[in-house]
Chain A
C-alpha cells in the first residue's frame, strides 16, 4: 500500500504547486463562512446545525472540482501509461487518488473547526453533537469523492469530468429532496438509498451503525466502479 501513499503524496505536491487547490479552498471557506455566519448574526442562534445542513450542497460544488483532474488528466497527458507500467496495482492507484482528495477535503473541514471554537467562546456548545456532525461530514465527503473520482475516470477532459461528477452527485442529492413528493411506499426506499438522509440522521448527534455502514459501502462501491473502469479501458 506504500505505493498508494506515494500517489497521495504526489497529488499533494501537485495541489500545493498549482493554483487550483488554493482557489477551491478559498471559495469553500468563503461559502462556509457565509452559511455559518448567516445563522449566527441574522438569526442570533449560536449553533452549527444550519451550517451542517448546508454542507451537502456546498460539497456538491467543491469536491468534483478537487477530483476532476485526478484521473482525467492522467489519461489526457499520457501519464497514465507511465503510472500503469510502474509496479503498482490498479486498485492502489485508485486508493491513492481517493486518499489524496479525501485528505484535501479533511483539511478544508479542519479549517472550519474555528467555527465551533469561536462558538464555545460565546456560550455552551454541544461538543458531542458537533463531533458526530464532523464525522458525518467526512463520511459524506468520502461518498462524494468516490463518485467524482469515478466521473474523472470516465473522461479524459477535466471539465467533462467535473460536469459528470456534479451531475451524478446532484442526482444523489435530489434523491433525498424529491422523497417528499413521492408515494409513501417509494419514500421508504428513497430514505434508505439517499446518502443525504443518512448524513442527516447523524447530524442529530447519534452514530448510527447503519448510517456509517451505508456511507462507507457507497464509497467502496464507487471506488470499485472506478477500478473496473480503469481496467476496462485497457481491454478495449
Chain B
C-alpha cells in the first residue's frame, strides 16, 4: 500500500467516509455554506478540545471541562448583568464579566490541578468530583435556568460578521472562529516553542524520567490543569456570547466530545503521543457527524444514540489503526 495511505490519519479516513455517506443521503451536504457552517459550529468545541489535548498529553484527563465551561459562562453573565443594571456601560460590563468568567475557569482548574498534582489523586476521580461541584454551582448561580444577556458588545464576540460589517461574504466569517484560531495559535506556540510545552510532553511520556532530569513535575502538571480551566472558560464565555445567554446545564457532555476529539486526532492517553494539529481533525470528525445527521434529516431523537455510537466506533478505529501502523512500520 502506498505510504500516503498509511500516513493518512485515521480521523481523515473517518471524515472522508462520513462525507461520502452523507453526500449520498443529501445533495445539500457538500456545499460551501454547509462546510463553513461546520467550521463555525465547532469552533468553540475546538477551544475546549485544545485544553483536553494538553491534559491528555500530560497523561491526565479532565472530566470537569463541560462543567467548568458552564460555570464560567454563568459567572460571566451574572457579573455582566449585575454591572449593567447598576449603570455600567456595555463595554466595561463585558470586560469585567469576561475577566470574572476566565478567573472562574482558572480557579476551577487550579483546584482540580492541585488535587491531581499535589494531592496525587487519580485525574479522573478528581475531575469527576469537580464536575459535580461545578455542575452544582452552575445550577445554584443560574437558578436552574438560563441567564439572558442583552449586551451588544458582548454578543458581537459570538456572531458572524455580517451582523456588524455590511460587506459581501461576511456571513462566512465569525468571531468564535477567530477566537478559536487565535487560541489554537497561542497553544501551538506554547506547546511547541516553549519550555513549558516540552515539559508537558515529557511528563506524559515518562514522568519519572522528567523528574530525574530536573523538571518540576508537580508545578507543570498543575499549570496544565490551570491552562485547561482557562480554555474551558474561554469556550464557556464565547458560547454565552453566541447564545446571548448562559444556560445552567449547557456544557453537560461537552467534555466527552472534547476528549473524544483529542483521541480521534491521534493523542493517545499515556506516552505523551499526539498533538494539537490532530485535534482539529478530531473536532471535524465530531462536527461532520453531527452536521451530517442534521442535514440528512435524522430525527433529533436518534441523534444522541447515533452520535455516541459513531464517536465510540471512530475511537476504536483510531486505536486499532494506530496499532496497525505501529506493526507495519
Please indicate whether A and B come from the same complex rather than being unrelated chains. no
Residues of B within 8 A of A (CB): none
